[in-house]
Amino acid sequence: IHNSYFTLGAYFDPGPLRWLYFVIILSVYVLIVLSNLLLIVVICLNKTLHEPMYLFLCSLFINEINGSTVFLVFIAYQILQDVHTISYNLCFLQIFFLYSYGGVTFTNLAVMSYDRYVAICFPLHYNTHMTQRKVTCLIVVAWLSVFVAVAITIVLTASLKLCGNIMDSVYCENYLIVKLACSDATANNIYEAVAVTIVLTIPLIIIFFTYIQIFRVCFNGTKQTRQKAVSTCTPHLFSVVNFAFGSWFQIFQSRFDLSHLPEILRIILSLYHLTCQPLFNTLMYGLNLTKIRNMCVQLSLTMS
């Protein structure tokens, strides 16, 4: 078996629709980059938005641009090719960015839920708790912890002896490479199971706990408190549910046989968390958070 490259077997020949699919993918990518970049610029230029919540949003938007760039550009390029292969090194680089994108998104959403919890449950002590130093540390930990966990995963997988090079996917996935191994992959399976559980479960527990406390305060609080919670927590809660759906489907698809589903449907759903999530977040946060919405309007008027 030639281990210098992998074949991505989930692609199908689009025939005369090749350029249409290419334009659609590229258009989605450009829209993701421009919308996320717009909100990053708005937050960076306006000093009134230099608050913890908006800094966490910047971190989220940067991560979405990174994830979309790595995969959508590659997929658009692959659509134009007759042979859908990827080099060994590029495959592992893609795995690093895929896992990092998912992990950083979940940890970032967990940090954002903690920020909302402090703001709503302890409003008088918010500035004391959420200092600039603490915000910076939370963002660094959210990114660095995921990078380290993913790097260990790649080192373990790269050490395996492979007896195949065909993956039923449109991009590289660590679990699919481990399935190609003809050497003992017990350590890989155990570590990946533990790492995925930690990266997904701990943030979800934090989000679940903080929202229980937020709902409790809202239920016993004033109308103003409830309105503040709804305006700031609604986009975040929808973002969590949306990304969890896309991620769990991708994990489920890579581990179970879903060949009974139409091929085009499986491809669309496998790209869901890489396309719909970045677009969904910019729409939700851009329209629901008053400060961002007002600044976007002012910026567009200035440019015009």
pLDDT of residue 1: 43
Give the residues across from 257 on adjacent strands: none
Pairing of strands 5-8, 166-167: parallel
Give the residues across from 167 on adjacent strands: 8
Average pLDDT of the chain to the nearest whole number:
82
Question: Which of 3.30.710.10, 1.20.1070.10, 3.40.50.300, 3.40.50.720 is the CATH number of 5-303?
Answer: 1.20.1070.10
pLDDT of residue 107: 92
Alpha carbons within 13 A on the beta-carbon side of 24: 9
Mean pLDDT of 196-212: 85
Closest to 275 in 3D by CA, of 204, 133, 191, 171: 171
Sheet holding 166-167, edge to edge: 85-87, 5-8, 166-167
Top-confidence residue, 32 or 250: 32
Q: What is the pTM of this model?
A: 0.85
What's the angle, vertex CA 117, arms to CA 286 and CA 215, rounded to 5? 95
169-201: per-residue pLDDT in tens? 888 888 888 888 888 888 888 888 888 778 878
Domain map (residue ranges) of the chain:
5-303
With pLDDT > 90 as the criterion, what percentage of the chain qualifies?
19
Taking the C-alpha atoms of residue 221 and residue 233, their distance in angstroms, rounded to an integer, is: 15
Residues 6+ apart with CB under 8 A from 129: 118, 122
> Is the pLDDT at 57 greater than 80, yes or no?
yes
Both structure tokens of 225: 């408190």
Alpha carbons within 13 A on the beta-carbon side of 193: 7
Both structure tokens of 175: 């679990």
Residue 65: pLDDT band with limits 50, 70, 90: very high
Taking the C-alpha atoms of residue 18 and residue 62, their distance in angstroms, rounded to an integer, is: 30
